[in-house]
Structure 1
Amino acid sequence: MAAHLPLMVWLSPSFPVGAFAYSHGLEWAFESGDLHDAATLRDWLDALVAHGSLRNDLILFACTARAVGTSDDAALVEIAELALALANSAERRLETVTQGNAFVAAVRAAWPCAAIDRLKSVWNGDVAYPVAVAVASAGHGVPLLASLDAYGLAFVANLVSASVRLGIVGQTDGQKITAALVPAVQAAAAVAEPATLDDLGGCALRSDIASLRHETQYSRLFRS
């Protein structure tokens, strides 16, 4: 269990990546009426886990961790570039690179490892969030499946927190949704663990549209 402990720090709300500032398009979905109660929020998040952005993030995470483990710099560069290209709106890109770059900076300062230094030596661009966390996890020897589980659950928990602040659900319903989605997160992590870049793809189109629409939303609490 000691190997898992860094995940509790890196993926906690106190780690300085600014996750609280992003709603992943939920703010527009709420304003438009797509999200209005616990049932609609759970369905929305479940789609992201199984068919949407989190599914792709977990695959990118797994591929990154394997590239680090085999010291495959060419693969690592390819994944880092592809992760940015898959951000299908300006705000999705802002969300992933702001958190990814902040994560790399914080880990290099407080949790240094050779893998993070290697990433910076072979890739001088922005770093997507799943790539950043995967490099640190692999560099510190954290088991891949545990890392995928933790990353997925942190993603869900952060969006539930955003939903509580938006007023879609209360705190108790928010916790019920998070708990209910644990099996879906575990299933997505298990699928992602052996996946390759050829397995990338998604069909959570309404979430993608929400992200695009949020860019021009008149009044906003969140950056995405």
Structure 2
Amino acid sequence: MAEQHDRLPHEDGTQSLLPLFVWLSPSFPVGSYAYSHTLEWAVESGDVGDEASLIAWLGDLMLLGAGRNDAILLSHAYRSIAADRADDLDEVNELALALSPSAELHLETSQQGRSFLDATLAAWPSPRLRDIEGEVAFPVAVGMAAAAHGVPLSATASAYLLAMVQNLVSAAIRSAPIGQSGGTRVCAAMVPIVRNLAEEAQNLSLDDIGGATFRADLGSFHHENQYTRLFRS
């Protein structure tokens, strides 16, 4: 008689997370590898040069800047699709695009968002996934897709933020004296921050959006004129 195996706890929940492994992987055609969210300038200016300074820079970005804002925007986009509120979704997307402090950072979110939505509509269609015409911000596109396919919001926000961290760590490895082992340690150090931020952001309103990463925002303007550049932001 064939051996019987009990179903592992939360097996069905794990299955629902599988799309995230594809959508937020380096192989998904959004071009995240081309952006550093001003990290390249931070390295050039000497703000980031080792593990400790990278952790500090990423921590501020997550808690005081784009990470926190993106998580809030993603959550509201998710709920707009779940509740079939098209007007709310348009408002969230317009706000997300308007928050970009520079042309490079606007390109970063709008190009990735458009590419993500187009790829998802082509390969992961759903009657609930709406095709926004024109520009769409990256966190909005991810929130839309997750809601349309029933991927839990908490896991989506956590995975999005961690993918953001990993992409920036990869940029740091390519542009700063931080090796792969160091990059792995930085990612591990950021996991608790990502986890707590993802949970907090789900309960915040659009009025809670704001930022205090002034030097990084200015850095995005300086990066446009940087003499040598590997990244588009």
* Corresponding position of 2:6: none
TM-score (norm 2): 0.93
| Runs of 4+ in structure 1 over 6 Å off | none
For 1:172, which of 174, 181, 201 is the aligned residue? 181
Q: How do 1:75-224 residues align onto structure 2 when only pairs under 5 Å count? A: 75-116=88-129, 118=130, 120=131, 123-224=132-233
Code of the residue aligned with 1:158 in structure 2: it is N
Aligned to 2:42: 29
The one-letter code sitting in structure 2 at the alignment partner of 1:215 is: E
In structure 2, distance between residues paired with 1:115 and 1:100? 17
In the alignment, the residues of structure 1 paired with residue 123 and residue 69 of structure 2 have an alpha-carbon distance, to the nearest angstrom, of 28
> Amino acid of the residue matched to residue 2 of structure 1?
Q
* Structure-2 separation of matches of 1:197 and 1:187: 18
Q: Show CA shifts across 1:88-139 (max 9, x none).
A: 10000000011011001110111111232x2x2xx42200000001100000
Gaps of 5+ in 2: 1-13
Report the 3-state secondary structure (helix = DSSP H, G, I; strand = E; otherwise coil) of the residue aligned with 1:79: helix
CA contact (8 A) 2:50 2:176 kept: no
Query: What residue in structure 1 maps to residue 23 of structure 2?
Result: 10
Report deviation, 1:17.
0.3
Distance in 2 between residues matched to 1:80 and 1:168, nearest whole Å: 37
What is the aligned counterpart of 1:66 among 65, 75, 79? 79
**Deviations, residues 142-185 of structure 1 (Å, cap 9, x unaligned):** 00000000000000000000000113311000000001100000
Alpha-carbon distance between aligned partners in 1 of 2:202 and 2:177, rounded to the nearest angstrom: 33
What value does the CA root-mean-square deviation take over the aligned residues?
Answer: 0.8
TM-score, normalising length: structure 1 = 0.96
Aligned length: 220
Identity %: 52
Q: Higher Cα Rg: structure 1 or 2?
A: 2
Q: What 5-or-longer segments of structure 1 have no aligned partner? A: none
Q: Which whole-Å CA distance do the structure 1 matches of 2:62 and 2:32 have between them?
A: 18
User: Aligned letter for 2:230?
Assistant: L
1:156 alignment partner AA: V
Between stretches 172-181 and 207-216, larger displacement belongs to 207-216
Q: Which has the higher helix share?
A: 1
- Contact persistence 1:101–1:128 (CA under 8 A): yes
